[in-house]
Structure 1
Amino acid sequence: MRRHELSDAEWELLQPLLPRPSKGRPRADDRRVLNGIVWKLRTGTAWRDVPERYGPWATLHTRFRRWAKDGTFERMLRAAQAQADAAGDIDWLVSIDSSIVRAHQHAAGARKGGEAAKPSRSRGGQALGRSRGGLTTKIHLAVDGLGRPLALSVTGGNTNDCTQFTHVMEAIRVPRPGPGRPRTRPDHLIGDKGYSSKAIRTWLRRRGIPHTIPERADQIANRLRPGSRGGRPPAFDKHIYKQRNVVERCFNRLKTWRGIATRYEKTAESYQAAVTLASLLMWA
């Protein structure tokens, strides 16, 4: 096994989750192609610069784009989560947070029109936001108590965290073996002050999800201003809140992939597929 390639444990997880080839000409070896895709994303190099030992770069790019567009990586992530849940290996103390990623100049200039430009898919173009520092993308992430990704979303870097809260939470769908609906509700949720809003707390209470989210300073001042009529402060357990660091550590692990720490992909679906693949390998 060369540097940046799949280990035997990772391949053992991925192999049964790969889509079966359709009728027709046999496709290139799956492990070699996946090794090339992983090598490219871990190093952050251009597709044309991937070593020839992984086969033609166009084959790698075509396979990656096809699996990104048809949701293959997302289905594989769900299947890996289902296996872990069936073995009782998921800690449902869920933490949610976001992290900003600088976008390289090559990430701009995606073709206008087509599937990728539909508003339902992009939510703000190709998930590129312009700020004082240039183009940025934000990764919104929910992880289990062991710091493994349960659901994720990518938006422009200037997107507020709380606007994506329900989207990320509703994306938590861990299938269960046999009949029954997927599990969507954590035992407890931890979030930082960016998720402290009345709408989010109401959404969580209606679904019976206990949560630990600190109040912002302005919210505390507004509550105290009218005295006793301002109501009681929301419950906050500082010992549970200390466990929020698992989501920060998850971001650190994801950003060891240079192709994730800096965004080079032009389309939002390709960049999200890259993050999904890195998240999938964390379940190995």
Structure 2
Amino acid sequence: MEEKWLAVLDPLAELNPETDTTLAIIETARRRGIVVATTTIEELFFDGAAMAWTLGADGRRERTALDDHTLVLMRKEPPYDLAFHYATQLLSLTSAAVVNEPSALRDFNEKLIALRFAEYMPPTMVASDPSLLAEFVAGHGACVLKALDSFQGRSVERIETPDNDRLRLFTGDGKYPAMVQSFLEDVYDGDKRVLLLGDQFLGAALRRPRQGFHASFARSEAISCGLSQTEQQIVDRVGPWLVDHGIHFAGLDFIGERLTEINITCPTGIKQIGRLDRRDLAAEIVDYLSVLSARARADS
């Protein structure tokens, strides 16, 4: 069977070719002769089988079955909402390999997944009750308050004291859980994004905020770096667990050697890290995905 991939992503017009991880993977795969089509979650549907309206490299729009592909890349950016949730349900109906596994995307919120490794995290509480969160802040001092569906630093605020108004806002007056973490002053030196491919370290960059404490590739200076011994130990623990749950491409965030988040929905950074390290990370990812694709074909 010809190697055919399908990338589920945001509208192509919204993506920046200079920085977008998914576009880099697609372009590299196509240069190697892999047929790669794209689609969006709105174009997924079911009609006797899981289907999609897809766009080929030539711009031609076709109705295709997901099973006609050997690999599906789920690269829709957060937030994880009901539309995203329903898309994972449809993706679970295909026999093609899906990266990352749709069931893992459903099961593991990007903020909550890190709690399985809480011993490596700063002091953290998740609760819907504003009074519990206020008690945590009172005991730990300056904290970061996070909505569980936040991404790229959005809906993330620093609070110095128990701010009942903010806590009620972030929890919807006690209806939804929010996260508070002890504020790490090391964030001003940088938030380290560590990319994992399979269970192995792929690359890293220290994102030093240009102002404030929000660290992302868009808002920060990217600095080349590796892993400390402590960070490598955490990677050695987290990586195999991720692969066991069908998560083959992930981004771990560290502040001062403390794990703060595990990004599994649409981790980014290969263009920035690749430029810093003078490596073609997209080629390494395509190599890995081709092995997964071949394995899926052999098993089908």
TM-score between both structures, scaled by the size of structure 2: 0.24
Structure with the greater relative contact order (CA < 8 A, sep ≥ 6): 1 or 2? 1
**More helix per residue: 1 or 2?**
1
